[in-house]
Amino acid sequence: MGKVTLVPRSAGPHVTTFDTLLFNTINVFPMFPLFLFTNKNLDLINTHMPELKRVKISHIRGKLHILDLKEIAKWVKEAGGIFCDEDLNFIQWSQAVKNFYQFKCLRDEDLGKEAPQALSYVEHFAFFLNQQDSEDFFAYWLKVEVKLRKEHQSKLYAFDGNMYEQEWTLVYVERISDSKYASSSLISPPTQTPSSSTSKAPSCKPEAPPATSKQPF
């Protein structure tokens, strides 16, 4: 029990809150999934926190209780929420990023936004958000973002702008290649009629697809 602050129903913007168990859990399992930080999933977790399964960490002093991440993912799925990072859409991902960053700042009470990990996540997430056509390319770069985020969490890698640029080049090439394929597949062979001045059969050779203009990187 502690001091309770009531929020008016017409308070305006969504107010994000984090239960203490979330902080305890991420201290033990730093590879924390982003999908738990969407507005909907945070509301589900906060509302049903008393009934969520806990795990006792016996080797930690005081035998700390944390949340069972696998059980939460299963429970969120049954409740109709997103239960996998790769299933997030751009809006959900953007929500989760904002909430996750706020969570990381609160986790380090002394440094807050100046904490090394918080700053590293700013660079990480901002890299993808600030790319040209970021939202249109989302389905192509999400898997890269998840991979790089997990590498940072597990190995504590610092942000490497050059390596991120190399990864984005591959994303760009994949996206543009798919666009060219989709454009060419829509082109059907033109219908030709026999010429009145010749008895030759009409040519069935399709016209060449128009060249796709390459957008600047």
pLDDT at 91: 95
* pLDDT number for residue 1: 47
For residue 173, give the amino acid letter: V
Check residue 136 and give its pLDDT: 93
Host H or E run for residue 56: strand 54-57
Q: Are 69 and 77 contacting, i.e. CB atoms less than 8 angstroms apart? A: no
State if pTM tops 0.85.
Answer: no
- How confident is the prediction along the chain (217 residues), in pLDDT tens digits per residue? 456 666 666 655 566 788 888 888 888 887 889 999 999 999 888 888 888 888 887 666 666 788 888 888 888 888 888 899 999 999 999 999 999 998 888 877 666 566 777 888 999 999 999 998 999 999 999 999 999 999 998 898 889 999 999 999 999 999 999 877 666 655 545 545 444 444 443 344 434 333 434 443 2
- Exposed, middle or buried, 166 (CB in 10 Å: 0-12/13-18/19+)? exposed
Angle at 36 between CA 35 and CA 39, to 5 degrees: 95
pLDDT of residue 14: 60
